[in-house]
Amino acid sequence: MSSIPMRSLVRGFKPYTAGLSIDEIREKYGLERVIKLASNENPLGTSPLVRHVLETHAGLAFRYPQAGNPRLLKAIAAHHGVSPSRIVVGNGSDEVIDLLFRICAEPGVNNAVAFKPCFGIYTTQAALCGVELRQAPVNADFSFPWDDLLKLVDDKTSLVFVTTPDNPSGYTPTAAELERLARALPSTCLLVVDEAYMDFTDDEAKHSLLPRLDEFPNLIVSRTFSKSFGMAGLRLGYAIVPEELADHYWRVRLPFSVNLMAEEAGIAALEDAAFHEETLRVVREGRAWLAAELEKLGCTVYPSQSNFLMFALPERGPDAASLFEGLLRRGIILRPLTSYGLPRNLRVSIGTAEENGMLVNAMRELLQS
């Protein structure tokens, strides 16, 4: 046994499973070009305005950002039409989720509730914070069994997490369903709606409670700059929360976890509406095309309103692990879903038209071989 002092929980801790990187696949298989369709990143890359702002502010990298990121808060608040006093930001939405556990749940006393499978950060941070995470399995078609979720809620439940569109399936409930859940929860329980992928939906108003925040005092909505804004590498996420919670969030958040470059980039990303709209167009059109092509190959494609598709392979032919490996050797990275408890399924991020086409051609070869 090591003499290094360490919590017993940490010694056996299971970390979050991240997707494979382009560099490690290029090096492993000796490839010049690798297409990554595994991490739900923006197929168009980074906004031209964001790149320009990063270049012009590079000389300030030695400076600390202003405490509390007030300019960024003001920009996000204006984008959503809410008060800056309700905005919190973090080093990715991962930090926001982590701090919600630390602020709102007493270790060994309170519990949190989510569906299963769910975003891996919910499970890792609940465990690290000593908070029981209760999970209701989703239905066979990956829709949400709301009554099963509510049965897990008691007077010690402080947080209920719902991801919409859901990851990894892409399932997206209606705002009316979320409203019923919010009204059914006790006033002492916060509903955290993770909307990382919400702007990819065909009709955001049909699925989001964000425009109706004032109706639900127990509602939190989190979003990210990683997906549609193309800033995954800069780590910037945010949430709209009750003002009292925002006040306590800023008391405990590490003082400079959102760096100056990420802050400037976030402000610029919100200003570049043309890039954002083009991203949404490319993803929505690519999603429809790729779903149809995967179905032609005999795959079962689950309905998605996100920037990814989850699918199961035809019963006859290679299994998911074999296809995943075959695609890697051809320089195409998808996301296996074993870590989500779905070893027969794969998830693919929507790429450019060229990347989507290359994937379909490679899969056709592998499925017919």
Please write the tens of the pLDDT for every residue from 264-278. Answer: 999 999 999 999 999
Contacts 24+ apart (CB under 8 A), 15-21: 15/124, 16/120, 16/121, 16/124, 17/120, 17/339, 19/333, 19/335, 20/328, 20/333
Q: Measure Cα distances from 276 to 27, 126, 197, 240, 267 in Å.
A: 33, 33, 13, 21, 13
Domain identity same for 238 and 278: no
pLDDT at 84: 98
In a domain, residue 158? The reply is yes
pLDDT at 14: 85
In a domain, residue 53? The reply is no
Domain identity same for 183 and 222: yes
Per the structure, the count of domains in the chain is: 2
Q: What is the CATH number of the domain that holds 288?
A: 3.90.1150.10
Q: What is the CATH number of the domain that holds 108?
A: 3.40.640.10
Question: Can you tell me the mean pLDDT for 315-331?
Answer: 93
Final residue of a structural domain among 232, 252, 272: 272
Domain identity same for 223 and 319: no
Which residues lie across from 132 on neighbouring strands?
111
Domain identity same for 358 and 340: yes
Q: Is the pLDDT of residue 281 over 70?
A: yes
In a domain, residue 52? The reply is no
- Output the average pLDDT for the chain: 95
Final residue of a structural domain among 256, 272, 288: 272
Please write the tens of the pLDDT for every residue from 146-167. Answer: 999 999 999 999 999 999 999 9
pLDDT at 71: 97
Domain identity same for 78 and 19: no
Please write the tens of the pLDDT for every residue from 234-269. Answer: 999 999 999 999 999 999 999 999 999 999 999 999
Please write the tens of the pLDDT for every residue from 103-138. Answer: 999 999 999 999 999 999 999 999 999 999 999 999
- Burial pattern 182-205, b for ≥16 Cβ within 10 A else e, equals beebeeebbbbbbbbbbbbbeebe
In a domain, residue 51? The reply is no
Final residue of a structural domain among 251, 272, 293: 272
Q: Please, which pLDDT band fits residue 215 given cuts at 50, 70 and 90?
A: very high
Q: Please, which pLDDT band fits residue 191 given cuts at 50, 70 and 90?
A: very high
Give me the residue label for tokens 């916060």.
190
Tokens found for residue 328: 């890697």
Q: Please, which pLDDT band fits residue 1 given cuts at 50, 70 and 90?
A: low
CA atoms within 13 A on the CB side of 205: 0
Q: Is the pLDDT of residue 8 over 90?
A: no
Percent of the chain with pLDDT over 70: 99
Q: Measure Cα distances from 339 to 34, 119, 171 in Å.
A: 23, 10, 18
d(CA 150, CA 160): 9
Q: Is the pLDDT of residue 13 over 90?
A: no
In a domain, residue 196? The reply is yes
Domain identity same for 248 and 311: no
Phi (first) and psi of residue 168, to 5 degrees:
-105, 5
Residue 161 lies in domain: 62-272
Please write the tens of the pLDDT for every residue from 332-341. Answer: 999 999 888 8
Domain identity same for 240 and 158: yes
Domain identity same for 68 and 187: yes
Q: Please, which pLDDT band fits residue 19 given cuts at 50, 70 and 90?
A: confident
Domain identity same for 85 and 102: yes
Question: Can you tell me the mean pLDDT for 356-364?
Answer: 97
Q: Is the pLDDT of residue 30 over 80?
A: yes
In a domain, residue 37? The reply is yes
Domain identity same for 21 and 152: no
Query: Which among 304, 328, 320, 351 has a CA at the least distance from the CA of 39?
Result: 351
Q: Which residue would you say has higher pLDDT here, 19 or 302?
A: 302
Q: Which residue would you say has higher pLDDT here, 228 or 9?
A: 228
Q: Please, which pLDDT band fits residue 44 given cuts at 50, 70 and 90?
A: very high
Q: Is the pLDDT of residue 59 over 80?
A: yes
Tokens found for residue 140: 């066979």
Q: Please, which pLDDT band fits residue 66 given cuts at 50, 70 and 90?
A: very high
In a domain, residue 54? The reply is no
Q: Please, which pLDDT band fits residue 15 given cuts at 50, 70 and 90?
A: confident
Question: Can you tell me the mean pLDDT for 289-299?
Answer: 97
The model's pTM: 0.94
